[in-house]
Amino acid sequence: MRFHQFCAPLAFCLALAGCANGNTDLAQGLNVSWSAGAAKRIVMVDPDVELSELTMGGITEARADWTATGKTFVRDDIISTLAAKGIDVAAADPPTDPREVQLVKLHGAVGASIFLNTLLQLPTKKKNFDWTLGPGVSALRDHYKGDYALFVYIRDSYSSGGRILLQLGAAALGVGVSGGQQVGFASLVDLRTGQIVWFNRLGNATGSLKDAKGATTTVTRLLSGLPL
Amino acid sequence: MMRPIRLLVLLLGAALAGCTAVTLVEPGKPAAVGDGVNVMPQVRWNQIAPRKGQTVWTQNGPAIDSVYFLTGIADGKPLYSVAGMRDADVGIFRANMLPNDVQDLVVGTMQKEGYDNVRAGSLAPCPFGAATGFCFDLDFATKDGLLMKGKVLAITRNNTLNVFEFRAPSEYYFAALVPTVDKIFASVEGK
Amino acid sequence: MRERRLLLACAGWLALTGPLAAAPLPPPGYEADMSGDEAGLWMQVDKAEAALKVAPNIVRDPALNAYVQGLVCRLAGEYCDTLRVYIVETPEFNAAAMPNGAIMVNTGLLLRMQNEAQLAFVLGHEITHFLHRHTLEHMRMAVHTGSVLAVIGLATAAAGVGYAGSAVNTLGVGAIYSNSRDEERDADANGFQIAMNKGYAPDQAPAVWRFMVAEDKAREHSGRIAFLADHPQSEERLATLQKAADSARSTRSDWTENADLYRKIATPFLSRWIEDELARGEPRESVVLFQRLSAADPANALYQYGLGEAYRRRNMKDDAPQAIAAYRAALACAEPPAEAWRGIGLVAMKSGDRPQAKDAFTAYRAHAPDAADKAMIDFYLTQL
């Protein structure tokens, strides 16, 4: 089932970049609630963060060192941001239980759909932000004892020195050459129902995840509007 | 090996090219899904860019769930095109195919489309409107390892094939939507 | 990860200077370079392995894993501990060694092996890629994300932003990297040595290439068998391996093939792997495959059944009687699959031979009372 026969895909103008300041979605009628008689606690699913270098030739090469530190910054910033709100964070390991594995993969598909929906609006989703992972999320709840789960996805590329020179040179000639980009989202799932109660898209080119200060900026943007 | 481009990517491209419309299908009245066949939608559906012989409905977007109405597939044609493959290599329908053959064709086509470990089961005769078609279940996985389930209703008549196919993740979505899909399949009327 | 890579580097250094005998010594001044693209690759490969560990189509059967892992260990000597085998259920014929010591072996490959020697030569080849730290300058990573956003990755890649590096292929489709010609020759030569040193019959090495090439020739459309796509110049390499086998053959008289042992290990899985192979929807290749397997092992009911199915699905002129013959051959073997009856029924029904179809379907239902498609077969019977 392919539609390419009708519509030749045009150059994708990175509508994501067009949403420069990100976009927050909130489930309607959201009532944040916590399990009685316990500390406020959320599960932070292992953040899916990857930093790469955009070389002069336009190839993206993953950088292990930047990724390791960037991921640590993101995790630490999330934990401290939530601690400041009096919320405990259970930092989940990458899942090994088959059910949890499927839940994380399902979240990927749902996240993709939410993203896709901003470009190709589904009429049934027009007036309501209504997405769920289903009640199977109780597996995560039972394992980590949190009321909500936070998913984070960031892909960040940074222009290499050569690339920056190229960009400057090209700009002088009036030609656009793409620089590093940042794509990401965060979502909050109610582990009692499976509903995605909050979804935030990161816009283009925010703080650098290569240093602590830049990471704080990114995480602040990422978690802006978090209804906790 | 050429890899089929994901439907999603093409939808993105198509959407931005301004030539894909997603329309709303309202319940309460019959919806035409091709080849003179109508079904009752039961609930609201998002309908993606119908073209001759192919209508797609989805609740949450094709990355999650979808119902494909493939109609009027003629002898010598594949169920649908797969990017980067000639029709003959995707596998073609033959008018003298038995239901077992069509089941194999659906499985083989899905494998070439890019799904993994596609298995079919529970092949049985099933009503297609007033006529007798056949139905079977599917289990498969996306390349990312998301486990999926499917349900197919099909009929061969007048040397052409109609295949209705529902796909959704195993986790939550298939079970949540299949009662509605069953009612849709049971509501087939028309030619 | 540091320790592994150190060991890896040692292995490479040693391999350049001699056989796998000596204990590893680090080359002077070696230091892991976390800022290099090699480290970036390692990160992705480690991620790929983590995803493999939880992939739904990893075969976890302890006996099969012990067997393949054991074989890898025997071939790799003291590097045994650095290698981890993952058996992936996919009908594509392929195996690949990742730079971090993870080795993927597809069930499609295991189906095609006729004996342990053949598997040993394939594994020897892959182990060599790992041991010799073959460079990854031609690395291609298939783009499939672990948990998120294939859409974004692909879409942004299309826009030239390039997030291709973010994704990992975890489900055994194609190799993770491809090597230079010299590296391939090295893997052939050294892999051949490794397996031969353990006593495996040298003729089995070119035998594998020969049947792979034959199956590949049966492909009509674009795209080679994955193993061949990743290991090019097959004619040349077949000739080289054949020469090597010719010189080595007479150096001993007690070469190991272990066909019986291999058959025993594979038997519990054959039915499923054959179903997977047929599900590919490539009957021309399946015919070539099952012709070879059933010719080498005519008493194997499942190979005959597979051949029958392949002919039936290929459905070219004269395939129908060939299919029936193969199904009947299956039924004449010990422990024939009930599906052979179904196959006869389907062929007979389509060619209008109602009595034969009726008998065959009746027999199928008798031998497989709980068949998943029994409702359909019963329906056919009402029409005959």
Name which residue leads in pLDDT, C115 or B7: C115
Which tokens go with C109?
A: 């490959």
pLDDT tens digits, C308-352: 999 999 999 999 999 999 999 999 999 999 999 999 999 999 999
Strand residue runs (E) in chain C:
84-88, 95-97, 102-106
According to the model, what pLDDT value does residue A53 have?
81
B touches which chains (3+ CB pairs under 8 A)? A, C
Half-sphere exposure in the Cβ direction for C171 (13 Å, CA) = 21
Cβ contacts of B6 on chain C, cutoff 8 Å: 150-151, 154
According to the model, what pLDDT value does residue C310 have?
98
Helix pair C204-217, C234-248: axis angle to 10 deg: 160
CB B108 within 8 A of CB C281: yes
pLDDT tens digits, C279-307: 999 999 999 999 999 999 999 999 999 99
CA A185 and chain centroid, separation: 2
Nearest-angstrom CA–CA distance, C170 and C45: 9
Q: Edge-to-edge, what's the strand order for the sheet holding B31-34?
A: B31-34, B37-39, B189-190
According to the model, what pLDDT value does residue C212 have?
86
Residues of C with CB under 8 A from a CB of A: 34-35, 37, 39-44, 50, 53-54, 56, 145-153, 155-156, 158-166
Q: Looking at the partner chain, which of A1, A6, A7 has a beta carbon nearest the beta carbon of B68? A: A1
Nearest-angstrom CA–CA distance, B104 and B79: 12
Q: Looking at the partner chain, which of C43, C54, C149 has a beta carbon nearest the beta carbon of A95? A: C54
Cβ contacts of C151 on chain B, cutoff 8 Å: 6, 8-9, 12, 63
pLDDT range class, residue C216, cuts 50, 70, 90: confident
Q: Is A158 helix (H, G, I), strand (E, B) or coil?
A: strand
CB pair distance less than 8 Å for A9 and C158:
yes
Which tokens go with C215?
A: 């199956």
Cβ contacts of B119 on chain C, cutoff 8 Å: 275, 279
pLDDT range class, residue C38, cuts 50, 70, 90: low
B127 pLDDT above the threshold of 50: yes
Cβ contacts of C50 on chain A, cutoff 8 Å: 94
Nearest-angstrom CA–CA distance, C311 and C284: 8
Nearest-angstrom CA–CA distance, A22 and A18: 9
Q: Looking at the partner chain, which of B13, B108, B124 has a beta carbon nearest the beta carbon of C280? A: B108
Give the dihedral sign, CA C64/C65/C68/C70.
Answer: negative
Nearest-angstrom CA–CA distance, B54 and A1: 8
Per-position b or e across B120-130, b if 16+ CB within 10 A of its CB: beebbbbebbe
Q: What are the DSSP calls for chain B, one per residue? A: ---PPPHHHHHHHHHHTT---EEEE-TTS-EEEETTEEE--SS-EEEEEEETTEEEEESS-TTT-EEEEEEEEETT--SS--TTS-HHHH----TT--HHHHHHHHHHHHHHHT-EEEEEEEEEEEEETTEEEEEEEEEEE-TT--EEEEEEEEEEETTEEEEEEEEEETTTHHHHHHHHHHHHHHT-EE-
How high is the ipTM of this complex?
Answer: 0.89
pLDDT range class, residue C46, cuts 50, 70, 90: confident
Q: Looking at the partner chain, which of A3, A112, A123 has a beta carbon nearest the beta carbon of B63? A: A112
Q: What is the mean pLDDT of chain B?
A: 89
pLDDT tens digits, C143-170: 232 222 233 333 333 333 332 222 333 2
CB pair distance less than 8 Å for C43 and A108:
no
Which tokens go with C183?
A: 């590296």
Query: What count of other Cβ atoms lies within 10 Å of the Cβ of residue A99?
Result: 15
Name which residue leads in pLDDT, B36 or C36: B36
CB-neighbour burial class of residue A171 (10 A; exposed 0-12, middle 13-18, buried 19+): exposed
Residues of C (166-195) whose Cβ lies below 8 Å from B: 169-171, 173-174
Q: Looking at the partner chain, which of A2, A6, A116 has a beta carbon nearest the beta carbon of B63? A: A116
Mutate to test the interface with A, among C161, C171, C177 (most CBs of A within 10 A): C161
According to the model, what pLDDT value does residue A11 have?
27
Q: What number is the average pLDDT over the span B150-175? A: 97
What 8-state DSSP symbol labels residue C249? G
Chain B interface includes A132 (CB < 8 A): yes
Q: What percent of chain C has pLDDT over 70?
A: 74
Q: Looking at the partner chain, which of A9, A14, A65 has a beta carbon nearest the beta carbon of C34? A: A65
According to the model, what pLDDT value does residue B171 have?
97
Q: What percent of chain C has pLDDT over 90?
A: 59
Residues of C (34-73) whose Cβ lies below 8 Å from B: 51, 54-57
Q: Which residues of chain A have pLDDT under 70?
A: 1-22, 29, 56-59, 162-163, 166, 170-171, 173-179, 203-207
Nearest-angstrom CA–CA distance, C129 and C180: 11
| Closest CA of chain B from A135, distance in Å | 7
CB pair distance less than 8 Å for A135 and B23:
no
B45 pLDDT above the threshold of 90: yes
CB pair distance less than 8 Å for B16 and A101:
no
